[in-house]
Amino acid sequence: MLKIEQVAVAYGAIDALHGISLQVGQGEVVALLGANGAGKTTLLRTISGLLRPKAGEIRFEGEALGRSSAESRVKRGIAHVPEGRRIFPGLTVMENLDVATTIWRRRGMSSAEDLATVFALFPRLQERAGQLGWSLSGGEQQMLAIGRALMARPKMLLLDEPSLGLAPRLSEEVYRRIADINAKGVTVLLVEQNTVLALEVAHRAYVIENGHIVLEGPARELARHPRVREAYLGA
């Protein structure tokens, strides 16, 4: 579904990604693992069109994304939930979800149906529909950020550190919902520092170090790999 070939990205004179190649198949959950500053966020931002690669190509469903805008990529079915759950703090839960709907209504889609899907996944959001964004707990804000992305009916969800700053119980809950979303047919590419959790939910994973992919494989195999155990699982 997603094919990244030799993608290089730089911030001015500083190279962040050096010829990254990876693939995500339809229906997969794929995790990108790596330390702070390895380039994981840069890669997600490049896929969603927020950054331009200086070399290489990204194909989605067989078509080169080229220099297409972030907005056009959302329309093609790629939705990005950025790190730090950028919800609108001064808007209610419902208004946060409506912001997405306003964009999608142009496509003549029924937003009521999308809302029902989001509330079925995250009943807490329905309970708190009238509550302002800032007053939600960290876990609820993460669920709202994911819910808002789902309003776009994505084929592929890009998730940047969905467990960041959450207590273990909430992180597990967010990951259970990610598995539910995947079970409904949405392909997932996620960046995660919580390697244990990511490898439990992902089918496959890639490890990025200093802008290079250094390891890849089925999640179960990577969880047993000495380099992963030592560097990311504290074994």
In the complex, minimum distance from the CB of residue 206 to ligand ATP, in angstroms, rounded to a whole number: 12
Q: What angle do CA 42, 20, 229 make, to 5 degrees?
A: 85
- Closest to ligand ATP by CB, 40 vs 204, is 40
In this complex, which beta carbon is closest to ligand ATP, that of residue 93 or of residue 188? Answer: 188
Q: Which is nearer to ligand ATP, 42 or 187 (CB)?
A: 42
Nearest distance, CB of residue 41 and ligand ATP, angstroms: 3
Query: What are the start-end ranges of the H helices in 81-202?
Result: 93-105, 111-121, 123-127, 138-150, 168-183, 195-201
Give the three-class secondary structure for 159: strand
125 is written with which tokens? 């959001």
Question: For 35, which DSSP code?
Answer: -
Pairing of strands 63-64, 55-60: antiparallel
Q: Give long-range contacts, CB 8 A cutoff, 24+ apart: 99-103.
A: 99/148, 100/148, 100/149, 100/151, 100/152, 101/151, 103/74, 103/152
Give whichever of 44 and 93 is closer to ligand ATP, judged by the CB atom: 44
Rounded to whole angstroms, the Cα distance separating 153 from 206 reads 26
What is the smallest separation between the CB atom of 56 and ligand ATP, expressed in angstroms? Answer: 16
Residue number, 39 or 133, with CB nearest to ligand ATP: 39
Provide the minimum distance between the beta carbon of 83 and ligand ATP in the complex, in angstroms, as a whole number: 6
Binding site for ligand ATP (CB under 6 A): 11, 14, 16, 34, 36-42
- For ligand ATP, give the closer residue by CB, 114 or 160: 160
**The two structure tokens encoding residue 127:** 């309970």
Q: Which amino acid is at 43?
A: L
Least Å from the CB of residue 84 to ligand ATP = 10
Cβ atoms within 10 Å of 73's Cβ, excluding its own? 21
Q: What's the min distance (Å) between Cβ of 11 and ligand ATP?
A: 3
Residue 19: exposed, middle, or buried by beta-carbon count in 10 A (0-12, 13-18, 19+)? middle
- What is the nearest approach in angstroms of ligand ATP to the Cβ of residue 102? 29
Between 15 and 57, name the residue whose CB sits nearer to ligand ATP. 15
